A and B are shown apart, each in its own frame.
Chain A
Amino acid sequence: MFVRILIANRGEIACRVIKTCKRLGIETVAVFSEADRNALHVQLADEAHCIGPAPARESYLVVDRILEVAKSSRSEAIHPGYGFLSENPVLSQACLDAGIVFLGPPPEVIRVMGAKDAAKRMAESIDVPVIPGYHGDDQDDATLQNHAQRIGWPCLIKAAAGGGGRGMRRVNDAAEFAQSLAAVRREAKSFFGDDKVIVERFITQPRHIEVQVMGDNFGRYIHLGERDCSIQRRHQKVIEEAPGCGLSDALRSRMRAAALKLASAIEYKGVGTIEFLVDAGRDDEAFYFIEMNTRIQVEHPITEKVFGIDLVEYQFLIAAGEALPPQDRFNASGYAIEARICAEDPSRGYRPTPGLLREFSVPQLSEHLRVDTGFRSGDEISPWYDSLVAKVIVYGESREDAVRKMSDTLARCRINGISSNIPLLISIMENAVYQRTAVDTNFLQTYGDELLTPRQAALG
């Protein structure tokens, strides 16, 4: 095992990694920007080094500076956390060259899985399903329409060079196709300077379901079940659950098999997540690979709760060359939910609300309640980094039990000085639709007004 490691991150994930290190007797080296001089992760680590000014591109994203500190502090490994340099092949390569262990995959794996198109082609080549579509060069109107017909209605026409939700249209039937195609081409031309389009199946009720996987150096691949991360705002996860509800055993085992197939095809080493969309609007239990995250994820604690394991510890074990136990040693029980407390105001379009966190307290922690945070009362929530203040993780016997525990816990969290999304999180827990059943990624969009209104009135 390692004697000393460097953590190339900040906030809750840096603190969380330090916690496991302390338990395992590994010394920790923190890095920080000038804005984080008094941050919790700096105080918790055995030593800490300033790596530059507040903007991340001048500190947390500077590979050379981080490597320099790793060398001078004689750290044997670098844990990248999530975000920042965690999926940057340059850091992975630099570690390789410097003889430092990168607690993540080698650069070539990050390159393959990091580029979404390449990852999808890889998935397709081993018969892992991707969203049915046509991405070809033949842009003839009739060709495109024939492909739409083959894929089925409704379909989605979108700009091949697109992104950010612009230059895309839902087409409900053949009669609408020609007009929509012309419109998307016009938008694609004006937004992206290229009128090439792609045609895909439109997923009416997408659920975001992901499978946690691990791979060791001896060809063993393990899955750790599913997480349902369907409650999102602007593609950012808000609530996550494990093992998730409303998924048949047959669907779960097909998704696990697909995830393991992908992990073994790229000879994945370490912990990673395979993300899928499940189309709840269809009755054939269709699911599609969307991407792989080659790092620890924000929502990893819910998997840790239901399996009773420490995923960061497994990152160390695998990197130190130890073999994973067989699949049947990993057993899940109970139900876990994570809610992300963010410095933002959902009633004002999720506007960020950085500032002085005058008071921040949570109820007594227990085996049913875990809170991962990088902040204490009196800390400044900086505008330079993301808005995550804390992750509240509850564990219950059933989903119903976990939902009730989450609702109670959130109601007893105290946060003063900044606006947060806690009222929205409570509204979600108290929403009848959410309580009754699994929801899809349209949930916050669909019920947004309803979820925000009663709390506003109660506060006003």
Chain B
Amino acid sequence: MAELNVESEITGAVWKITTEIGARAEKGDVLMILESMKMEIPVEATQAGTVVRILVSEGETVSEGQPLVRLSD
């Protein structure tokens, strides 16, 4: 079973997590919304899979390249 981390493309903060452990995500589904410089930036699933881990919590700061969610196909 292949696992893959969805990473943050920006430096910012986690505003809202819109998925949960065990949820099924299709490619392009929004998993969480980050906030940076007063902009909301959605984080989308880069491939289809099941959410096996959420690696951050709401309000936490994240940096570019940091893993946010682990998907398993």
Contacts and interface: CB of A to CB of B under 8 A. Distances in A.
A455 B12 CA distance: 27
Contact of A383 (B9, B59, B61): B61
Interface stretch (A175-183, A187-195, A350-358): A350-358
A407 B68 CA distance: 41
A352 B12 CA distance: 9
B41 A383 contact: no
A384 B13 CA distance: 8
Contact of A352 (B39, B59, B61): B39
A383 B41 CA distance: 12
Contacts of A387: 37-39
A386 interface: yes
Contacts of A55: 13, 59
A279 interface: no
Interface in A381-408: 383-387
Interface residues of A, number: 14
Given A343-B37, A385-B37, A351 B10 contact: yes
B32 to A, nearest CB: 15
A344 interface: yes
A386 B39 CA distance: 8
B12 A385 contact: no
A188 B12 CA distance: 32
Interface string A333-352: 00000000001100000111
Count chain A CB atoms within 10 A of each CB in B36, B37, B59 and give the residue with the most.
Answer: B37
Interface of B: 9-13, 35-39, 41, 59, 61
23 contacts: A55-B13, A55-B59, A350-B39, A351-B9, A352-B10, A352-B41, A353-B10, A354-B12, A354-B36, A354-B37, A383-B10, A383-B11, A383-B12, A383-B13, A383-B35, A383-B36, A384-B13, A385-B37, A386-B37, A386-B38, A387-B37, A387-B38, A387-B39
Interface of A: 55, 343-344, 350-355, 383-387
Nearest 8 pairs between A and B by C-beta? A352-B37, A387-B37, A383-B36, A352-B36, A383-B12, A354-B11, A386-B38, A383-B11
